[in-house]
């Protein structure tokens, strides 16, 4: 699956929006990515997850950090023919709950819809390693890292997006007077 086909699905599912946004960081930018939008549409999510699964082999289980990667983990595991589970936060800390277990030496693929700093994936990886997992790689739909693999294992993504952001003072869209939107809420003032 080439990057154009991936971007087409991100656009059709409204996982990628173009406009003028204020991000959580407070910086402004012209593109907003919300991976969860893709998983509203099983048929398109299936296409992406099948393509991602094809980049890995020798996987015993797929793990996604809750909540964002649970559906993705399930769908990727289906194409790899292995089991899937998830880690979730308890008092702010990732844990294996619900009687999920990892056998020492199990080869685990971590998945996440969008990787920017990779912080939550790294945290989830550490928990899996405490249980004896061998992390064989990280798979993402969108790589927003800017090109540097933040992980100590193989990192594969379907598409790499370098999204510029600016402070409000230097934002060219503000200078043009385009209304700024904080995703998920009312337009910012």
Binding site for Zn ion (CB under 5 A): 28, 171, 173-174, 180
Minimum CB–partner distance for residue 24 and Zn ion (Å):
15
Cβ distance to Zn ion smaller for residue 21 or 86: 21
Three-class SS state of 38: helix
Cβ distance to Zn ion smaller for residue 17 or 127: 17
Q: List the structure tokens of 10.
A: 């991100």
Query: Closest residue (Cβ) to Zn ion?
Result: 171
In Å, the largest CA–CA distance within the chain is: 57
Of 13, 49, 37, 15, the residue nearest 161 (C-alpha): 15
Minimum CB–partner distance for residue 181 and Zn ion (Å):
10
Q: List the structure tokens of 3.
A: 């990057």
Query: Is the Cβ–Cβ distance between 114 and 141 less than 8 Å?
Result: yes
Minimum CB–partner distance for residue 104 and Zn ion (Å):
50
Cβ distance to Zn ion smaller for residue 8 or 23: 23
């Amino acid at each position: 699956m080439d990057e154009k086909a991936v971007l087409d699905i991100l656009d059709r599912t409204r996982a990628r929006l173009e406009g003028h946004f204020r991000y959580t960081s407070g910086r402004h930018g012209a593109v907003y990515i919300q991976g969860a939008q893709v998983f509203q549409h099983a048929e398109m999510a299936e296409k992406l997850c099948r393509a991602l699964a094809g980049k890995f082999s020798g996987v015993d289980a797929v793990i996604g950090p809750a909540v964002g990667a649970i559906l993705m983990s399930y769908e990727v595991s289906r194409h790899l023919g292995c089991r899937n589970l998830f880690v979730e936060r308890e008092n702010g800390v990732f844990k294996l709950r619900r009687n999920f277990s990892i056998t020492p030496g199990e080869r685990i693929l971590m998945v996440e819809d969008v990787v920017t700093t990779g912080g939550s994936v790294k945290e989830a990886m550490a928990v899996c390693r405490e249980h004896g997992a061998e992390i064989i790689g990280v798979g993402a739909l969108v790589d927003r890292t800017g090109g540097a693999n933040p992980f100590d294992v193989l990192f594969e993504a379907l598409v790499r997006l370098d999204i510029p952001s600016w402070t409000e003072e230097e934002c060219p869209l503000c200078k043009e007077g385009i209304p700024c939107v904080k995703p998920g809420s009312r337009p910012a003032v």
